[in-house]
Structure 1
C-alpha cells in the first residue's frame, strides 16, 4: 500500500476546512475571508460547502478546548506537534466532539488527510490520538480537563464554551457579575451565528428582500432580514447592490445616528471610521432620502476602496485620512463614531479572533478611542449628536471611555440612547437602565454592540 494518498482521493470539504485552518495558523488569515473564496474557486457548493464551513469555523472557534483535549490525548503540548498535523487533529477532534459525524469516519478521513501530505508515521500518530479522543464525549472531556466549577466557575465556563478566561471575565463584569447571564452569553457566543441581511432604503424594503431571499423580516431593525441558510452571495438583491450582509445590531447603530433629535439639522453628517462601509451605506441611503450628505473618513486606502464599492450613487464623500486629524471643518449635525475596538462583541462571526486578542490590545485601543471621541465632540455643532459605538461589551472600551471623555470636556452631556433603538420588538424592557445601550447575542440575537449618544452645548 502506498504511503501517501493522492489529493483527488480526499474529501474536498475536509480539504478546504484543513486549508482554511492552515491559512489562519500560518498567515494570521481570517477564516471568514479565506473560506468563501476557496469554496468558489474549488467549485464546492451545497451540502459540501455547508460541511466545510461548519468544520472550519467550528474548529477555529473551539480551538482552545480542542487543543486541551488533543494535548491530553497526545500526552504532549500542542506546541510540540507539527502545525500541518495539528490542523488535522483539530478538525478530527471537532468532528468527534461537536458533530454527528461517526467516530470511524472522523478518524479515518483525518488519517487520510495527514497521510496524503506527511506519510505513514504522522498518520499513525493522528490515528492514535483521535482514537483516544473518541473514548469520551465533549462533556466528559470538559469534566476531566476544566477547572472545578465549585472553585472556579468562570474558568469552568470559559473552558466549556471555548473562550479564553480573560474574555469570560470581561463578559462577567459587563453583565454585572451574574453567573447565569455569563453562561448564556458564552453559550450564544459559541454558536454559529445567523446571517443577517440589510435592505438598502430607497432600493428595496425588508419585506421585499425577505420574499426574494426566502428569509424572514427581522425583529428590530426595519431593514433587517434573517437568512435561514445558504450562501448570501446567491441572493439576487445582494448581487445587484440592493442589499448587503450586516448584523442587525450594526443596522440599529447606523439608524440611531439618523433618528436622534438635532436642532436645525442642515444635513451635514459624518461617519468618522467608515471602513469597510456597511454603516456608511445604510446612513448614506437614509441621507439621500432626507436630502443630507455624508462625509466618510477612513484611514486605510484599501478599506476606503471597499466603501466606494458600496456607496456608489449615494451622497457620500470619502476622505482617506486619520479621523483624529482629518482636516474637516467642525459643525456637523450628526456624527457616527464606530470606533476601532477589540471586537469582543463579534467573536461568533470571527471564529479565530478570540484566540488572537490580548488585554494589551484593549489598552492600546482605549487610548485611540478617547482621542477619536474627543475629536468627534470638537467636530459636532452645539446641539448636534455624536453616536459612539463599539462592537465590544468591554467596560474599558464602552462606559469608561464615555465617562472619561465627558468628564474632560466642558459642556458635553450624555443623552439617553435607548429611544434611538426603540424600534420593532426592541422595547424598553430589553434595553436596561441606560443611558447607554448594550446589545447581547443571548438577549437580542445581535452582536454585542455598545451605543452611547452625546451632545455639547
Structure 2
C-alpha cells in the first residue's frame, strides 16, 4: 500500500539511518546525481525540506545552469513520486524496500525517476546510478542496483502504473497514479466534486513559477514588471518571476517578497473586512513573516500598526527580517506563544490566525510533505488550531474581525474547526469572506455550517489550497 512508503528511512524496520553528507567524491560520480542524492538523503533520513536542502546542495557542489536545473528536477521529482517509485522498485526487485539499505533505496528512486519521468537515456540513468551506488554504499550493491534498474527500464511509466493498479480499488489506483498516499486522496474526495478530484491531485504535481508580492507602501507591481516580472494572478499585489527571485534588488532589500497568491488574498480579505476603524492588528502565528509584511503594508494605509507573534526564536528573527523595510513604528515583533497570550483580551481590531497545519495545500512547493504526513498528525493539529482560534477571538475588541487561515483543504482542519468554535461561542458570527474577494470565483468552501468561507485550489485558482473563514466578535 502507498501509505507505508514515506521519505523517512531512519524509521524503516531493520533499516539504517541515512549516512551524513558529505563523503569523499570519486572521480566517476556525476556531480549532478551526487548533489541530488545528498539532498534526497537529508529529506528521507533527516526530515529536511527539499525546497531548502536542494538549493543548498546544488550550491555546495558548484552546479549552475542546466546542471542545476537537472539536479532540481531530480530532487523534486523523486520526492514528489517517491511512494509510487518504491512500489515500482519492489515489483522489479521482488522484495520489500524496507529490507534494503536506505541509501540503496534512495539511489534506486533517483534512477527510477530518470528512467520513467525524464528523457535521460536508459543506459545513462543506469550507469550513473551504479556509479553512485558504488561511491556511496560500496561495490557489493552495484549488481543489485544494475539489475533492478534494468528491469525498471523494460517498461515506461504508464505500463508500470497499469501493473501496480491491476488488483486495487479505484481510489487506491488514483493514489498510485497521482503520487499521493491514499488518506490524502480520501481527504480531497471529501471536499471536492468527483470530477475535480483527479485534476486537483495532478495539479499538486506541477511546480509553480516563483510568485512575488509587491508590499504596499514599499513597492508596486509596476516596479516588478519593469524588472522583468509578469503581472498575473488573482492578487492585485502579485507577479510571477522566472528564475531566482534573489536576483531582484527589491527582494533583497525587503520591498517585495516571495509569497503565493493565495496567501496574499487571505491577508487582503482581512484588511477589506469591516471592523472598528482605529486600533492595532495582530498576526497571531507570524513566522516566517510573509503575511506579516503584507499585512503591515495594508495596515499602514489606514493608519494602523501590527503586532506579530511567533514562539520560535529562529522564526521570530525571520519575521523581523521580513518586516525590516517597514517603518519601525508600524510593526512590533514579539516572541510569545499564541496559546498563552502576552496581551490583554480585547486589544485588537483585526487578528490573522494563520494556524499551524498539515500543509497539504502547498504540495506543489513541498513535494515530500505528502509522504511525511500521517492522519494522526491532523488529529493532533486540530486541537491546537481550535485553541488558537479561541485565543484569536478573545484578543478582539467587540466588532473586530479574525481571519482563520490554514494552508490545507482537509475538512478536519478547516470547516470543522470553525464550525466547532462558532457552535460553542455565542459572541461570534461568520462573515462571508467570498464577498470580499471578487478576484476569485468558485471559491466557496461548500460547507453549509460556515457559509461564505473561502477554499482556494491550485487547479481552479492557480494558488496554494488556502482556506479562509472570517469571524466577527459581536
With structure 1 as the length reference, what TM-score do the two structures score? 0.94
1:217 aligns with 2:231: yes
- Provide the rounded CA distance (Å) in 1 between the counterparts of 2:320 and 2:332: 9
Three-state SS of the structure 2 residue aligned to 1:284 is helix
- Provide the rounded CA distance (Å) in 2 between the counterparts of 1:204 and 1:378: 34
Map Cα deviations across residues 42-64 of structure 1 (whole Å, 9 max, x no partner): 33121111111110011011010
Partner of 1:455: 472
- Provide the rounded CA distance (Å) in 2 between the counterparts of 1:162 and 1:95: 16
Partner of 2:60: 41
8 Å CA contact 1:64, 1:163 repeated in 2 = yes
Distance 1:8 1:243, change over 3 A: farther
- Provide the rounded CA distance (Å) in 2 between the counterparts of 1:326 and 1:8: 57
8 Å CA contact 2:429, 2:473 repeated in 1 = yes
- Provide the rounded CA distance (Å) in 1 between the counterparts of 2:162 and 2:349: 55
Point out where structure 1 has 5 or more consecutive residues left out of the alignment.
Answer: none
- Provide the rounded CA distance (Å) in 1 between the counterparts of 2:215 and 2:256: 5
Task: Give 1:147 deviation, angstroms.
Answer: 5.4
8 Å CA contact 2:254, 2:322 repeated in 1 = yes
Of 416, 419, 432, the residue aligned with 1:416 is 432
Partner of 1:119: 138
Task: Give 1:232 deviation, angstroms.
Answer: 2.0
- Provide the rounded CA distance (Å) in 1 between the counterparts of 2:169 and 2:197: 13
- Provide the rounded CA distance (Å) in 2 between the counterparts of 1:87 and 1:182: 30
Three-state SS of the structure 1 residue aligned to 2:398 is strand
- Provide the rounded CA distance (Å) in 2 between the counterparts of 1:6 and 1:242: 41
Task: Give 1:308 deviation, angstroms.
Answer: 0.8
- Provide the rounded CA distance (Å) in 2 between the counterparts of 1:13 and 1:254: 40
Map Cα deviations across residues 91-147 of structure 1 (whole Å, 9 max, x no partner): 010111111111111111111111223333311211110010011111111111125
Task: Give 1:193 deviation, angstroms.
Answer: 2.6
Point out where structure 2 has 5 or more consecutive residues left out of the alignment.
Answer: 1-23
Map Cα deviations across residues 169-199 of structure 1 (whole Å, 9 max, x no partner): 00000114x1x21100111012223221111
Partner of 1:50: 69
1:300 aligns with 2:275: no
Distance 1:131 1:206, change over 3 A: same
Of 455, 464, 467, the residue aligned with 1:438 is 455
- Provide the rounded CA distance (Å) in 2 between the counterparts of 1:309 and 1:124: 51
Of 356, 366, 377, the residue aligned with 2:372 is 356
1:283 aligns with 2:292: no
Distance 1:268 1:147, change over 3 A: farther
8 Å CA contact 1:147, 1:155 repeated in 2 = no
Partner of 1:163: 180
- Provide the rounded CA distance (Å) in 2 between the counterparts of 1:6 and 1:387: 51
Partner of 2:10: none
Of 180, 201, 214, the residue aligned with 1:186 is 201
Distance 1:56 1:422, change over 3 A: same
8 Å CA contact 1:297, 1:326 repeated in 2 = no
Of 116, 124, 130, the residue aligned with 1:97 is 116
- Provide the rounded CA distance (Å) in 2 between the counterparts of 1:97 and 1:225: 33
Three-state SS of the structure 2 residue aligned to 1:225 is strand
Three-state SS of the structure 2 residue aligned to 1:422 is coil
1:126-205, aligned counterparts within 5 Å? 126-146=145-165, 148=167, 152-176=169-193, 178=194, 180-205=195-220
- Provide the rounded CA distance (Å) in 2 between the counterparts of 1:26 and 1:408: 43
Three-state SS of the structure 2 residue aligned to 1:218 is coil
Distance 1:217 1:431, change over 3 A: farther
Task: Give 1:348 deviation, angstroms.
Answer: 1.8
Task: Give 1:215 deviation, angstroms.
Answer: 2.5
Partner of 2:414: 398
- Provide the rounded CA distance (Å) in 2 between the counterparts of 1:46 and 1:239: 21
